[in-house]
């Protein structure tokens, strides 16, 4: 779009923000017409990314593939234009989400789930059904947890919400079948008449009810294979009771991992290692959970969606027209 606007004579400052990850240089170079894609980005004055890793991938690509001149850490010149590339991790509206946590729908969900699972430890996963979210790997890790730590049998319950997504495509239909098969196998192998280890929900859950669900969970599993940011991780933190917070288990391949360093980091491809980390989260002492949550919440609050908007627009306004 910026290239078309420039062709029409537009000289305004134009910014672009990429929500998804930028691939490493060699992977990006494998994309057909990759140079045309990057040339198009140079029509902008500012290109924003979710993480420093994405900025490094951009810098590495333009340096090696198109011979861009690095004017400083964030500014590059190529194709007759200058562009500034910088990290602006997107956030959430913390106050709004906290208000939803204490609103009627959030409170009702919290109380209902707390009563229903009063004798269980709740693990929670919330995302759309997508191959990038690492759902089969997560379920295999949970099965490994039950196998290696049998004290969690009849104690730990995983609630996995996977909202429908692109189900007309064969890839997504296959993923749904794989998940349903895994859930059935785990429940069949470990379930009891009065306890099912996995509660799998394949439908949308109203946003106003989610904060109550986050708040009642002992552990949140946010373990995508790759993600630009992942705001579920930040919503979980914002919804917690500071006096008795849950623990965030977070994929190192989510953009949020650069900010949320006090979470328990996992490699979702490592099923055994993820199971070990889930056990660590379930056994974490209260004082340690409080310390981690306090630091995580402070960072989520300081870099919220309003900070993101203001920082990006202020940086764009400061860009010198090329």
- Active-site annotation holder among 19, 64, 272, 306: 19
Whether 74 sits among the annotated catalytic residues: the reply is no
Same domain, yes or no: 74 and 58: yes
Same domain, yes or no: 203 and 279: yes
CB-side neighbour CA atoms (13 Å) of 20: 6
Same domain, yes or no: 137 and 27: no
- Active-site annotation holder among 54, 130, 218, 227: 227
Structure confidence by residue, pLDDT tens digits, 263-312: 999 999 999 999 999 999 999 999 999 999 999 999 999 999 999 999 99
Asked if 2 contacts 17 with a C-beta cutoff of 8 angstroms, the reply is no
Burial classification of residue 318, based on how many CB atoms lie within 10 Å of its CB (0-12 exposed, 13-18 middle, 19 or more buried): exposed
Structure confidence by residue, pLDDT tens digits, 9-54: 999 999 999 999 999 999 999 999 999 999 999 999 999 999 999 9
Which CATH number is 45's domain given?
3.40.50.2000
Structure confidence by residue, pLDDT tens digits, 66-119: 999 999 999 999 999 999 999 999 999 999 999 999 999 999 999 999 999 999
pLDDT of 166 higher than 80: no
Domain count, the chain: 2
Question: In the predicted model, what is the mean pLDDT of the chain?
Answer: 95
Rounded distance between C-alpha atoms, residue 230 and residue 305, angstroms: 13
| Section 215-240 average pLDDT | 97
Dihedral angle of Cα 147, 149, 153, 159, to the nearest 10 degrees: -80
Q: Residue 29's CB: how many other CB atoms inside 10 A?
A: 14
pLDDT of 168 higher than 90: no
Whether 227 sits among the annotated catalytic residues: the reply is yes
Range of the domain at 67: 2-90+306-318
Same domain, yes or no: 125 and 265: yes
Q: What angle separates helix 34-41 from helix 52-65, to the nearest 10 degrees?
A: 110
| pTM for this model (two decimals) | 0.94
């Amino acid at each position: 779009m910026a290239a078309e606007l420039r062709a029409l004579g537009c000289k305004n400052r134009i910014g672009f923000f990429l929500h998804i990850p930028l691939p490493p240089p060699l992977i990006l170079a494998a994309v057909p017409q990759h140079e045309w894609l990057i040339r198009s980005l140079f029509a902008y004055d500012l290109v924003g990314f979710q993480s420093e890793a994405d900025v490094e991938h951009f810098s590495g690509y333009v340096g090696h593939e198109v011979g861009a001149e690095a004017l400083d850490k964030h500014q590059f010149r190529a194709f007759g234009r200058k562009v500034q590339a910088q990290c602006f991790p997107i956030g959430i509206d913390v106050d709004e989400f906290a208000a939803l946590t204490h609103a009627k729908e959030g409170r009702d969900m919290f109380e209902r789930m707390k009563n229903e699972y009063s004798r269980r430890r709740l693990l929670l996963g919330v995302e759309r059904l997508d191959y990038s979210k690492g759902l089969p790997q997560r379920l295999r890790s949970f099965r490994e947890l039950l196998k290696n730590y049998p004290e969690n049998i009849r104690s730990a319950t995983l609630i996995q919400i996977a909202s429908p997504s692109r189900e007309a495509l064969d890839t997504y239909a296959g993923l749904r079948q794989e998940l349903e098969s895994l859930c059935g196998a785990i429940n069949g192998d470990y379930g009891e008449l009065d306890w099912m280890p996995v509660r799998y929900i394949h439908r949308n859950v109203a946003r106003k009810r989610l904060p109550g669900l986050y708040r009642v969970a002992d552990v949140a599993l946010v373990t995508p294979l790759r993600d630009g940011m992942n705001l579920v991780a930040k919503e979980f933190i914002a919804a917690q009771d500071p006096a008795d917070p849950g623990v965030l288990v977070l994929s190192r391949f989510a953009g949020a991992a650069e900010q949320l360093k006090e979470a328990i980091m996992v490699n979702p491809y490592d099923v055994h290692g993820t199971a070990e980390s889930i056990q660590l989260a379930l056994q974490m002492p209260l004082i340690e959970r409080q310390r981690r949550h306090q630091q995580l919440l402070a960072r989520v609050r300081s870099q919220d969606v309003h900070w993101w908007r203001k920082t990006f627009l202020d940086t764009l306004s400061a860009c010198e027209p090329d």
